[in-house]
């Protein structure tokens, strides 16, 4: 049995991580997937949420991700995402304001508002807040 796996996280703009990890939690389209070494092979759509992983030296990382794909094969986890933001890069106050505006748009929809887009905005803002809070809780 392997003791770790390689995790790669990339967006169209940049490579966010390529390192050895011992566990990960990744938002898929239908819920979170927990990953440990020797995980079964799979390909899945990514959802919107806070992705976390822990490295061999017990460092904890949290990111907000939105859309894309996940591939697990031969102890390599590839996360190819449309959007990813590291927890330390997230402005929590701005994310909280974005969440508030998106929720208001859903509660009081204006003519022509796309409710699906508003729901995505709510989920994305919440994912950013969750990622930042998870990282902050691990630091304490």
Claim to verify: residue 78 and residue 110 sit in the same structural domain = no
What's the whole-model pTM score?
A: 0.87
17 and 54 both lie in a single domain: yes
83 with 93, same domain? Answer: no
CATH value at residue 76: 2.60.15.10
Residue 83 shares a structural domain with residue 94: no
Residues 107 and 39 in one domain: no
Average pLDDT, stretch 14-30? 95
- Do 105 and 49 sit in the same domain of this protein? no
- Contact present, 34 and 66 (Cβ < 8 Å): no
Average predicted confidence (pLDDT) for the chain: 92
Q: For position 7, what pLDDT does the model report?
A: 97
Average pLDDT over residues 69-88: 96
Strand pairing report for 31-35 and 5-10: unpaired
CATH of the domain at 116: 1.20.5
Torsion angle in degrees (nearest 10) through CA of 21, 25, 29, 31: 150
**Nearest CA-CA partner of 73 in 44, 31, 52:** 44
> Are residues 33 and 78 both part of a single domain?
yes
Query: Beta-strand (E) ranges in 57-110?
Result: 60-73, 76-86
**Per-residue pLDDT reduced to its tens digit, 79-136:** 999 999 999 999 999 999 999 988 888 887 776 678 788 889 999 999 999 999 988 8
Domain containing 94: what range? 89-139
């Amino acid at each position: 049995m392997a003791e770790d796996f390689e995790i790669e996280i990339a967006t169209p703009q940049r490579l966010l991580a390529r390192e050895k990890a011992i566990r990960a939690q990744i938002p898929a389209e239908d819920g979170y997937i927990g990953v440990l070494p020797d995980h079964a092979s799979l390909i899945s759509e990514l959802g919107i949420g806070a992705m976390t992983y822990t490295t061999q030296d017990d460092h904890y990382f949290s990111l907000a991700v939105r859309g894309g794909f996940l591939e697990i094969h031969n102890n390599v986890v590839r996360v190819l995402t449309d959007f990813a933001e590291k927890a330390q890069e997230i402005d929590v106050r701005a994310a909280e304001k974005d969440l508030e505006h998106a929720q208001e748009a859903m509660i009081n929809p204006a003519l022509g508002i796309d409710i699906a887009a508003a729901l995505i905005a709510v989920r994305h803002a919440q994912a950013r807040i969750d990622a930042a809070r998870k990282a902050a809780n691990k630091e304490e």
